[in-house]
A and B are shown apart, each in its own frame.
Chain A
Amino acid sequence: DQQVKQNSPSLSVQEGRISILNCDYTNSMFDYFLWYKKYPAEGPTFLISISSIKDKNEDGRFTVFLNKSAKHLSLHIVPSQPGDSAVYFCAASALGSNYKLTFGKGTLLTVNP
């Protein structure tokens, strides 16, 4: 049973446009959410996070939105750049879990020049 779901395996956008990556979760105990970015043959790298007490967190071109009632979060990248092309993983952890992360399957983002 997938507790963190990324239903779009891939997304293609034009350079300069907005990329929106979506993530849904089912576990009500999750209270911290993160996005990781992964290039081929490398380990994932942390991108941005959000606590359940917030509904938005922004870091430069990256913004994460959290809708707790819908159990949905999204990552917005504006403007998208070719170097953003990578697999993006949504992850979540529950309070008191020692930050054990549950990951989604990932979305491959391709930004076309």
Chain B
Amino acid sequence: NAGVTQTPKFRILKIGQSMTLQCTQDMNHNYMYWYRQDPGMGLKLIYYSVGAGITDKGEVPNGYNVSRSTTEDFPLRLELAAPSQTSVYFCASSPQGAGGKLFFGSGTQLSVL
């Protein structure tokens, strides 16, 4: 069972570079989320989607963009990377009506230097 797959697992970016964090799920879940976790902190919601073609901002959306063209994929785009975006990024999915029971990927550790 693949579940939620995130790539890459690790990445180092230079300030000002751009990249896309990939996330795909094979559970046919409607809801997908991107969270970031800074050291010693809880997870903070960046963007979420309730279905293909529908996305909305979370708590910390600045510096990021998302798209949801299919049910399976929910890529997160970083434009003009900054050191403040150094974090671990988690993608998650959930079926509608699951009451917050999210299925998380294993994360992408990103460093911006």
Contacts and interface: CB of A to CB of B under 8 A. Distances in A.
B101 A49 contact: yes
Q: What's the interface size class on B, roughly?
A: 20 to 34
Given A41-B106, A43-B4, A43-B107, A103 B42 contact: yes
B16 to A, nearest CB: 28
A105 interface: yes
A44 B92 CA distance: 9
B45 A44 contact: no
Nearest to A106: B42
Contact of B98 (A41, A43, A99, A103): A99
B100 A89 contact: no
B98 A45 contact: no
Given A41-B106, A42-B106, A89 B99 contact: no
11 contacts: A6-B42, A32-B100, A41-B107, A43-B92, A46-B103, A89-B43, A99-B94, A99-B98, A99-B99, A103-B42, A104-B42
In order of increasing CB-CB distance, the 3 nearest A-B pairs are A43-B104, A103-B42, A99-B100
